[in-house]
Amino acid sequence: MRIIDISLDITPGMAVWPGQDGVTLERRQKIEEGGNANVTYFGSSAHTGTHVDAPFHFLPDGRTIDQLPLDVLAGPVQVVQIPSNVLVINEEVIDDLKLEPVVERVLFKTTNSAFWKRTDEPFHQHFVAVDESGAKALVARGIKLVGIDYLSISPFKKSRPTHNLLLGADVVVLEGLNLSDVHAGKYMLYCLPLKLQGADGAPARAILIEG
């Protein structure tokens, strides 16, 4: 059995969505300075690094992160390698992937994963994402969870159509994955977002189990 951590390191200076606050991670009590213990303060957007979107992120009456079913966040998953010449994952790309007939969870490994080689990489606007037709195709196939290796499942500045379709169909959206060291194939996924009451999303630790 091999455990593969597909979560990003959360660190100050990491890429965040434009307009969102950066990460604050600092020790505010230090043993070497006389503190009783080391105590770290952490501050960030709920959509920092590897994170899960709840329907409430785009749907006013949607479920919040603490209301998501855990059985969707854990179970068999197929990691799919998207060809390097694909810039948008649309319906045609989905149809060509030959997804397993029974797959309910899919993670897209794209050229985006190369962005995570350095923790101080700037935000990239031109990342591979799923467009509206691709979202419709995923919903039609009965997908319950979809993940991608950048900070949004939707193309930059076109966030609503894809998110509304997926979240409106109760598809769990997992963003900010690091799939650099993952080969295409079948795994077990375990992804647990922080239980932030009433929130529209939360950072998550996500792992794959191979074998």
* Rounded-to-integer distance, Cα 134 and Cα 119, Å: 30
**Structure tokens given for 3:** 């455990």
Active-site residue flag, 51:
no
Closest CA to 135 of 115, 161, 157, 102: 161
Please identify which of the residues 47, 57, 124, 163 carries the catalytic annotation: 57
Residue 90 β-bridge partners? none
In the three-class reduction of DSSP (H, G, I as helix; E, B as strand; rest coil), residue 95 is classed as helix
The CA-atom distances, in angstroms, between 25 and each of 2, 13, 28, 142, 207 are: 30, 10, 9, 39, 23
| Closest C-alpha to 46, from 196, 151, 150 | 196
Exposed/middle/buried for 111, CB within 10 Å: 0-12, 13-18, 19+? middle
Paired with 203 in beta bridges are 51
What is the secondary structure of 10-45 as a DSSP string? P-TT----TTS---EEEEEE-GGGT-SS-EEEEE--
| Active-site residue set | 57
